[in-house]
Amino acid sequence: MEEPVSWPKAITLREVGPRDGIQSEQLHVDTGDKIGFIDALSVTGIRRIEAVSFVSPKALPQMADAAEVLAGISRTPGVIYSALVPNRRGADAAVEARADALQVFMAVTDSYNLKNVNKNVKESLRDVADVVAVGRAASVPVEGTLSSAFGDPNEGDVVPERVVEVSRWMMDEGIDSISYGDTTGMATPRRVRDLIAAVREALPGLRLNMHFHDTRGTGLANVLIALECGIDYFDGSVGGMGGSPFASGATGNVVTEDLVHMVEDMGIDTGVDLDALLAAARIAQSLVSGDLPSHVLRAGPRDRVDSAGGTA
Per-residue pLDDT reduced to its tens digit, 79-127: 999 999 999 999 999 999 999 999 999 999 998 889 888 899 999 999 9
pLDDT of residue 153: 81
Q: Is residue 310 part of a domain?
A: no
Question: What is the sign of the dihedral through the CA atoms of 94, 104, 182 and 235?
Answer: negative
Which candidate, 223, 233, 231, places its Cα nearest to that of 270?
A: 233
What is the C-alpha separation between 96 and 174, in angstroms, rounded? Answer: 21
Per-residue pLDDT reduced to its tens digit, 228-249: 999 999 999 999 998 654 445 4
Q: Is residue 312 part of a domain?
A: no
Question: What is the sign of the dihedral through the CA atoms of 91, 244, 124 and 14?
Answer: positive
Q: Is the pLDDT of residue 279 over 90?
A: yes
What is the C-alpha separation between 257 and 277, in angstroms, rounded? Answer: 7
Q: Is residue 229 part of a domain?
A: yes
* pLDDT grade for 137, boundaries at 50, 70 and 90: very high
What is the C-alpha separation between 112 and 120, in angstroms, rounded? Answer: 9
pLDDT of residue 161: 98
Question: Whole-prediction pTM value?
Answer: 0.93
Name the helix (H) or strand (E) containing 189.
Answer: helix 189-202
**Mean pLDDT, the chain, whole residue set:** 92
What is the C-alpha separation between 93 and 6, in angstroms, rounded? Answer: 42
107: domain range? 12-304
DSSP labels, 192-248: HHHHHHHHHHH-TT-EEEEE-B-TTS-HHHHHHHHHHTT--EEEEBGGG--B-TTST
Contact (CB, 8 A) for 112 and 153: yes
What is the C-alpha separation between 64 and 93, in angstroms, rounded? Answer: 12
Q: Is residue 285 part of a domain?
A: yes
What is the C-alpha separation between 247 and 153, in angstroms, rounded? Answer: 7
Q: Is residue 260 part of a domain?
A: yes
pLDDT of residue 155: 87
Say which CATH number the domain at 206 has.
3.20.20.70
Q: Is residue 311 part of a domain?
A: no
Q: Is residue 309 part of a domain?
A: no
Q: Is residue 202 part of a domain?
A: yes
Number of structural domains, the chain? Answer: 1
